[in-house]
Amino acid sequence: MGALAFIALPMSAQETVPVYKNTSYSFEERAVDLVSRLTLEEKQALLGNNMAAVPRLGIKQYNVWSEALHGVLAGANASAGLQGPTSFPGSVALGSTWDPDLLELEASVIADEARAIFQTGTKGLTFWSPVVEPIRDPRWGRTGESYGEDPFLAAVMSSGFVRGMMGNDPLYIKAVPCAKHYFANNSEFDRHVGSSNMDSRDMREFYLYPYKELIEKDNLPSIMSSYNAVNHVPTSASALYLDTIARRTYGMKGYVTGDCAAIEDIYTGHYYVETAEEATAAGLKAGVDSDCGSVYQRYALSALEKGLITEADMDRALVNMFEIRMRTGEFDPVTKVPYNLYPASTVNSERSQAIALEVATRTPVLLKNEQVPGKTNKALPISLKDIKSIALIGPQADRVELGPYSGRPEQSSRTSPYAGISKYIADKGLDIEVTLASGGSTKSKSNLLYVAYFDLEKADGSKSHHDATKYSSSSDGITVGSGMGTEEQVRSIDDGSWTAYENVDLINVDKITIGANIPTEGGIIEVHVGSPEGNLISTIEATRASGKRVGGVYGASTPMEGKVNRLGYNGPQTLYLVYKAPEDDEIAQDVLDAARKSDVAIVFVGTDENTATEEADRLTLNLPGNQVKLIQAVAGVNKNTIVVMQTLGCVEVEDFRNLENIPGILWTGYNGQAQGAAIPLVLFGDVTPGGKLNATWYRSVKDLPPITDYTLRAENGKPGRTLWYFTKPVSYEFGYGLSYTTFEYSDFIISKSSITPNDKITISVNVKNTGNFDGDEVVQIYVTTPDSPASLQRPIKRLKGFKRVTIPRGQTRLVEIEIDCADLWFWDLKSDRIIYDSGRYVFEIGSSSKDIRGTVSANMNGRFNPQLKTVVADCRVSVMEIGQTAQTQTSACLTDDSFIGLDKATVKYVSSNPAVASISASGLLTAVGPGIATITVSVTYGGKTVSDTYSVKVNADLSLATLKNAGKSLLKRGRNQFSVLGKGASKVTATAKSPQLSVNVEQAPKVPGTAVVTVSEPVTGDAQVYYVNFGTKGVSDEFNSNSLGSQWNVIRRNDDNLLLADGRLEITAETGDINGTSDNAANLVLQSANTDWTIETKLQTSAIPASAQNAGLVAYQDDSHFVKFVYAPAAFRRGQQQAAAPAAPASGNLQFYVEENGSSKSTVSVNLAEAGVKNNTICLKLDKEGSIYTAYYSVDGKTWIQAGQVEVSLKDIQAGVMACQGVMNMRMGMGGMGMRPGGAAAAPAQQNSAPFKAWFDWFRIKNR
């Protein structure tokens, strides 16, 4: 049976704008309305990032996933008229600007480009940027995506990004940022399976701090739940982390997406639950609204069937998602949305390029600037008038490294240092020789290989298979994991790592095949026996350089073979796989020659996307490849060696930073497409570098705790983390950065000497530029609490304020920095809330975290009277039926991030429309009538009132209370189509069950005719249409006369092909059909049949229908609304081999076809192969009961077999017979408009040469 939606809205109902398209409603109300209209299957299909199109509601397909960390992640799209988006400096570079306003500008331009791209329909407006997690450990593979080590810096910089992306329209969001990865996702190798364990103090003060700030201060509209668990609970399955903390404590309004496959990780990585359905329930109930993966979209309905979730859980997630989509203006008139005016030319426009360059000049950090040996001048800026030659050396000298999640502009928009410097010198008309000698490499020595298995093959061909992850012992640091895949692999393989396997039979083994993946550059696998240094029996070069397949960090293993030297082993042995990095290349002599002969040698070194990335942390902090050797070698031949590093973050520099011949070191993060254009401006003094390190540069990776240790404070010999707790000497401290000029600090003033958490204070200082260059200084304020008990292990210092200022040489500027004392909180482990230590708070004012120029202090009165901050109310249901009740659930959170019981507060509930939903004094919501209502819940505590709202849709009961004709009730349960037989009065009266609904009756103009009754809910636009068909008794015809009786009406009559003879009606089929757009079939022999009835005919055709030929019964409203039950072809087509097919009698099909509004709504097909059809003769019967049509067939006229049942509402119905040749009627090419490529709307099918005739022995109709 093909069940059909039957409603066809009359114009009056169609004209009512549904709430979800009505801009006078709130976005939440509109989202609730939209979700209320979705079917369950549609809801499931919308729960992932690839949100399906729902044409019937005008919902376009939408990919929630886009990235824009430092430019919209996309390349050029010529067909859409788009250049590659601009690549701006990346996060680690931006974090080093210490300039949130600059970042806001960059993000604003990114959002402009995003809007221009959105206009072309190629991308959405939801971007999974920025990364707001603080840099806990520099080995983290995504260090380059973070703004900094101190959560305050990360939060302030992220805030700039969020503001820039969102724009400043009060109603619409320009582009939707998403802060990620919530939270404590700071190690890549184990992110799918690991647990970041910590106490709630580290959690709140460090890991959650940026989220709290962004949600509370910037109305952050989205977060991404991470892969990892925190304290053994996957964040994507934690109601505590997502609902209690993010939504109910911080007050997030928006959507939560799971990281890609994070929902899957709940059961396949963390084994937190056992099944996909349980993972779906865990994620949805925790608050993950959208699954970037496919678990929700595959398992939500089965989870619903199993009772693990409710439809309301799905609704709530979809409301959150659609509300955000609506806030972009997607569902609003184009002219109403202020961001709809960006043309495609916005992308990588001159303005974008200029801003990319401007930002790139403000990111560099000057790490060292000393006198050139034997000279009086400092190394930087390079005085071009004093030199005749420059050597540009190093693997990065002529490369543009953009970094991850960047725009991908055309090559012509990317400038390498070599190109930029050459152009700069040429533009200045200087006679300086620029020599490029790239030299060196950035080949990663971290994560050499992922190894899954090894197979040993003996001389006789027998093999043994060994799981490489089941090693008996290994070197330190080895891990096992599968990352995004499912293949378990030995990972974290460093130079010199090994894994051992006991009891391996090596007798007569000739060959070893190792299943390994090369994530970046690869390595050498040596097979030893007995120990890592034991006898070497095989060596496999598993490197990119050797031509082996590089699978990347997501890749699976590839077999790599090696010959085995037998060495006569005759018993079980312990096999060692020893992994080694390929030997470094020697530094080429021509590189050194270039350095030697030049006045200045600039060595461009750095990291790239192979050094560390998603899934792969750094195992070392060394510059990859042979770059340190290169730096040392160049410095060995040139006393004026400048090192320019562009890296993802901290690298170890102790091996070269103090070399005398390296008087200058400059560092940037990935600096965008203009990196090469910016660098000469800095090197040659057009711009004074003013950046400061956004993270500590540790001397050695050995100084760090294990990367899996997420605790911050030092304990039991383990060093603490970050500037807050790390006490060992470092290469460069957090906030460090030199300038070409110097700054003198004086006049340190604090506005208050006694403070409370409710105060805002201003700290001011005069900063004088005492050098010879204009320049930028970043004034930094660190807070210490020396009076706090030592047992509390308060941080050594925390960043709590900063300001970047530009000061011309010789001038002084008063720098005022405001500090909100509420931000000086600590998290109290005992009371699980924010507290403030009493006593002195010392504010260190300086140029870095160690270069403190002065201090001021204030005494904190730690007594804190927290105020009401966040109220969240909902009733867990978005769509209700009349009479349904739901209890409002309200939480109230104070400014100390603790919750109060509502019994201590005053709570008021107000419904925006009590006629739709009433609310009691206790918050019990009752659905009263159809429509949309918003409930406002106001909580008053301590004299402060905070409110929240939630919206519900109450579905209208669109059923009729009465439907009468001539005083008689026509209503029948479950019916929406009614029939009245006879020539009596046709006037209809009707009332709706719900008095709020409007009822419109369009009376039948005559009999036969149809009255149309429309019940509509005027507010939401919901409507239900009922047909009352008035008809007269049908007239059967045995077709024994010579002409058609008066009851018949022939559509597109052609008497040439219509014949009554031999007691039968003969129709010779003509080209045409009524399917789809081919509304041209001739000789539809019809009579009025506008009631319920059964019609029947005996049909014989001249041949088995071929191609598209068909003949049979039809119930017909018009060419776009009908039910057809026809003997149809077996449609053999080109190349058919019917004769060779398995034995089956020649036959046709029965096709039960329904068309509504010109579109095929259902097709039921019955194979007649086994039916025993003889002489192409078959009896057909069609029964109509209301809107239900049931088809039967019989080969003997006695035994009837049901062919199918369909539901469709037709009016002004005629019934009869038809025969036609049929036409091709598919949507092919030409945009699916029923047009063939050649332009014809429809073309005849291939036909047999003999005319296709259909003979109808009778047409019998029995009315009811």
Q: What residues between 466 and 505 interact with another protein by CB under 8 A? A: 484-487
The one segment of 646-654, 800-808, 893-901, 1228-1236 that binds another protein by CB under 8 A: 1228-1236
Q: Does 74 bind another protein (CB under 8 A)?
A: yes
Contacts of 1114 (CB under 8 A, 6+ apart): 1074, 1084, 1086, 1122, 1123, 1124, 1125, 1126, 1215, 1216, 1217, 1218
Say how far apart CA 181 and CA 211 lie, in whole Å.
10
β-bridge pairing 572-580 and 498-505? antiparallel
H or E element that contains 359: helix 350-362
Q: Provide, rounded to whole angstroms, the least separation between the CB of residue 1228 and another protein.
A: 5
Q: Does 1172 bind another protein (CB under 8 A)?
A: no
Say how far apart CA 1050 and CA 1055 lie, in whole Å.
10
Residues 771-800 that bind another protein (CB under 8 A): none
Q: Does 1002 bind another protein (CB under 8 A)?
A: no
Residues 378-437 that bind another protein (CB under 8 A): 402-404, 408
Closest by CA position to 476, among listed 702, 722, 731, 776: 702
The one segment of 39-47, 376-384, 1030-1038, 1049-1057 that binds another protein by CB under 8 A: 39-47
Residue at token pair 């086994």: 1170
Residue of 24, 55, 791, 1046 interacting with another protein (CB under 8 A):
55
Q: Which two tokens stand for residue 560?
A: 């790599």
Q: Does 76 bind another protein (CB under 8 A)?
A: no
Q: Provide, rounded to whole angstroms, the least separation between the CB of residue 1222 and another protein.
A: 8
Residue of 968, 973, 1006, 1134 interacting with another protein (CB under 8 A):
1134
Q: Provide, rounded to whole angstroms, the least separation between the CB of residue 1181 and another protein.
A: 17
Residue of 1133, 1175, 1238, 1239 interacting with another protein (CB under 8 A):
1133
**Is the CB of 85 or the CB of 737 nearer to another protein?**
85
1137: exposed, middle or buried (Cβ count in 10 Å: 0-12, 13-18, 19+): exposed
**Is the CB of 465 or the CB of 904 nearer to another protein?**
465
Q: Which two tokens stand for residue 128?
A: 């999974």
Residues 262-301 that bind another protein (CB under 8 A): 264, 292-295, 297-299, 301
Residues 1089-1118 that bind another protein (CB under 8 A): 1107-1108
**Is the CB of 248 or the CB of 1124 nearer to another protein?**
1124
Q: Does 1241 bind another protein (CB under 8 A)?
A: no
H or E element that contains 426: helix 417-428
CA atoms within 13 A on the CB side of 1050: 18
Q: Does 90 bind another protein (CB under 8 A)?
A: no
Strand ordering across the sheet containing 852-860: 754-755, 852-860, 839-846, 775-784, 798-807
Q: Provide, rounded to whole angstroms, the least separation between the CB of residue 5 and another protein.
A: 12
The one segment of 55-63, 281-289, 529-537, 1019-1027 that binds another protein by CB under 8 A: 55-63
Say how far apart CA 55 and CA 63 lie, in whole Å.
16
Residue at token pair 């009698």: 1145
Say how far apart CA 121 and CA 115 lie, in whole Å.
10
* Largest separation between any pair of C-alpha atoms in the chain: 123
Q: Provide, rounded to whole angstroms, the least separation between the CB of residue 921 and another protein.
A: 43
Q: Does 167 bind another protein (CB under 8 A)?
A: no
CB 1166 within 8 A of CB 1112: no
Residue 498's Cα: distance from chain center in Å?
A: 38
Residue of 203, 261, 380, 391 interacting with another protein (CB under 8 A):
261
Q: What residue type is 584 in one-letter code?
A: D
H or E element that contains 632: helix 627-637
Q: Does 1081 bind another protein (CB under 8 A)?
A: no
**Is the CB of 7 or the CB of 556 nearer to another protein?**
556
Q: Provide, rounded to whole angstroms, the least separation between the CB of residue 300 and another protein.
A: 9
Residue of 50, 700, 998, 1049 interacting with another protein (CB under 8 A):
50
Residue of 375, 1160, 1199, 1264 interacting with another protein (CB under 8 A):
1160
**Is the CB of 477 or the CB of 551 nearer to another protein?**
551
Q: Provide, rounded to whole angstroms, the least separation between the CB of residue 823 and another protein.
A: 37
Q: Provide, rounded to whole angstroms, the least separation between the CB of residue 623 and another protein.
A: 18
The one segment of 171-179, 557-565, 982-990, 1178-1186 that binds another protein by CB under 8 A: 557-565
Binding mask 592-631 for another protein (x = CB under 8 A): ----------------xxx--x------------------
Q: Does 1136 bind another protein (CB under 8 A)?
A: yes
> Among 99, 112, 259, 828, which one carries the catalytic annotation?
259
CB 680 within 8 A of CB 424: yes
Q: Provide, rounded to whole angstroms, the least separation between the CB of residue 560 and another protein.
A: 9
**Is the CB of 479 or the CB of 557 nearer to another protein?**
557
Q: Does 906 bind another protein (CB under 8 A)?
A: no
296: exposed, middle or buried (Cβ count in 10 Å: 0-12, 13-18, 19+): buried
Closest by CA position to 677, among listed 476, 450, 424: 424
β-bridge pairing 960-965 and 998-1002? unpaired
Q: Does 441 bind another protein (CB under 8 A)?
A: no
Q: Which two tokens stand for residue 618?
A: 């750094």
**Is the CB of 849 or the CB of 1225 nearer to another protein?**
1225
- DSSP letter string over 180-202? EEETT---STTTTT-EE---HHH
Q: Provide, rounded to whole angstroms, the least separation between the CB of residue 926 and another protein.
A: 33
**Is the CB of 2 or the CB of 338 nearer to another protein?**
2
Q: Does 129 bind another protein (CB under 8 A)?
A: no
Instruction: Report cis status (omega within 30 of 0) of the bond before 181.
Output: yes
Contacts of 1220 (CB under 8 A, 6+ apart): 1069, 1070, 1071, 1072, 1073, 1074, 1081, 1082, 1109, 1110, 1111
Q: Does 463 bind another protein (CB under 8 A)?
A: yes
Alpha-carbon Rg for the chain in angstroms: 38
Q: Does 1226 bind another protein (CB under 8 A)?
A: yes
**Is the CB of 123 or the CB of 247 nearer to another protein?**
123
CB 781 within 8 A of CB 796: no
Residues 521-550 that bind another protein (CB under 8 A): 549
- Residue 1141 has a CB neighbour count (10 Å cut-off) of 9
Q: Does 1137 bind another protein (CB under 8 A)?
A: yes
**Is the CB of 160 or the CB of 515 nearer to another protein?**
515
CB 786 within 8 A of CB 755: no
1131: exposed, middle or buried (Cβ count in 10 Å: 0-12, 13-18, 19+): middle
Q: Does 1199 bind another protein (CB under 8 A)?
A: no
**Is the CB of 302 or the CB of 889 nearer to another protein?**
302
Q: Provide, rounded to whole angstroms, the least separation between the CB of residue 1132 and another protein.
A: 6
Active site residue 259: yes
Residues in contact with another protein, total (CB under 8 A)? 104
Closest by CA position to 342, among listed 592, 634, 57, 115: 115
Residue of 7, 53, 714, 1001 interacting with another protein (CB under 8 A):
53
Q: Does 1138 bind another protein (CB under 8 A)?
A: yes
Residues 855-884 that bind another protein (CB under 8 A): none
Q: Does 1159 bind another protein (CB under 8 A)?
A: yes
Report the catalytic residues.
Answer: 259
